[in-house]
């Protein structure tokens, strides 16, 4: 059966799309198994899903396994999932939901029908952008205690940390583009900071690392 990977910034929209795919395949609700994890999906989680995949559908000819991976997929988990996608049962469709397919291995993308939903989120407002610029500027403070306080404020939950990191990436990218003709040393420094933020974003998104510790490491290294 065909496997699907749905990417969208809006989890609800992704779930709706998964539901419509189930309807298209005439799958009864009782034969739809949606699995969600609070933390990044690990290899043991994929093994649990693997056991479900080989169960027979109860009411329909086909069943659906929906993997809500909005909290991230570790590389180990993706490699384990790849084995399932290579030889899925004939009576099962697998639907993986992610925020962005940029964190997904190319080998997985090649084995799924990729569905990208349009981003309907509102753009970052001027007031919020100003606030984020102030936060980025404040990272130059020599006081370690101040930086650790920022990590505490932004790292209360994994989801909140991911949102803040994403917004910082967007604002910093925009700032670099706008000042492309300015001082080259300043630009290079901002690019290095951007890379560090992107690396931290990837770590928080795809691993089970403690988000506050990851932010502390980031803010202390800038």
What pLDDT tens digit does each residue of the chain (222 aa) get? 789 999 998 888 999 999 999 999 999 999 999 998 878 899 999 998 988 888 999 999 999 999 999 988 888 999 999 989 988 888 999 999 998 887 788 899 999 999 999 765 546 778 888 888 888 888 877 788 888 998 999 998 888 898 899 889 888 888 887 766 666 666 678 888 888 998 898 888 878 889 999 999 999 988
Task: Report yes or no on 177 lying in a domain.
Answer: yes
> How far is it, in rounded angstroms, from Cα 147 to Cα 210?
17
Predicted pLDDT of residue 38: 78
CATH number of the domain bearing residue 84: 3.40.50.300
- Whether residues 211 and 154 share a domain: the answer is yes
Range of the domain at 76: 4-116
Tell me whether residue 121 is in a domain: no
Instruction: Count the domains in the chain.
Output: 2
CA distance 96 to 154: 28
- Residue that terminates a domain, selected from 88, 116, 144: 116
Domain boundary pick from 66, 96, 116? 116
Among 64, 95, 116, give the residue marking a domain's end: 116
For residues 109 and 9, state if they share a domain: yes
pTM of the model: 0.59
């Amino acid at each position: 059966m065909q496997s699907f990977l749905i990417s969208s910034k809006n989890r609800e929209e992704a779930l709706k799309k998964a539901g419509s795919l189930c309807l298209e395949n005439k799958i009864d609700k009782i034969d739809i198994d949606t699995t969600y994890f609070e933390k990044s999906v690990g290899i043991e989680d994929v093994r649990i899903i693997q056991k479900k995949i080989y169960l027979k559908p109860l009411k329909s000819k086909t069943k659906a396994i929906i993997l809500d991976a909005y909290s991230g997929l570790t590389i180990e988990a993706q490699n384990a999932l790849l084995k399932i996608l290579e030889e899925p049962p004939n009576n099962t469709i697998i639907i993986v939901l992610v925020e962005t397919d940029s964190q997904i291995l190319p080998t997985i993308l090649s084995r799924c029908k990729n569905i990208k939903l349009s981003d309907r989120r509102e753009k970052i407002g001027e007031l919020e952008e100003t606030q984020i610029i102030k936060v980025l500027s404040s990272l130059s403070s020599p006081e370690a205690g101040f930086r650790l306080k920022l990590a505490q404020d932004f790292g209360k939950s994994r989801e909140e940390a991911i949102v803040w990191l994403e917004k910082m990436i967007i604002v910093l990218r925009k700032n670099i583009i706008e000042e492309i003709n300015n001082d080259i040393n300043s630009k290079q420094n901002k690019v290095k900071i951007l890379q560090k933020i992107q690396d931290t974003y990837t770590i928080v998104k795809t691993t089970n690392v403690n988000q506050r510790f990851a932010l502390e490491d980031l803010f202390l290294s800038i």
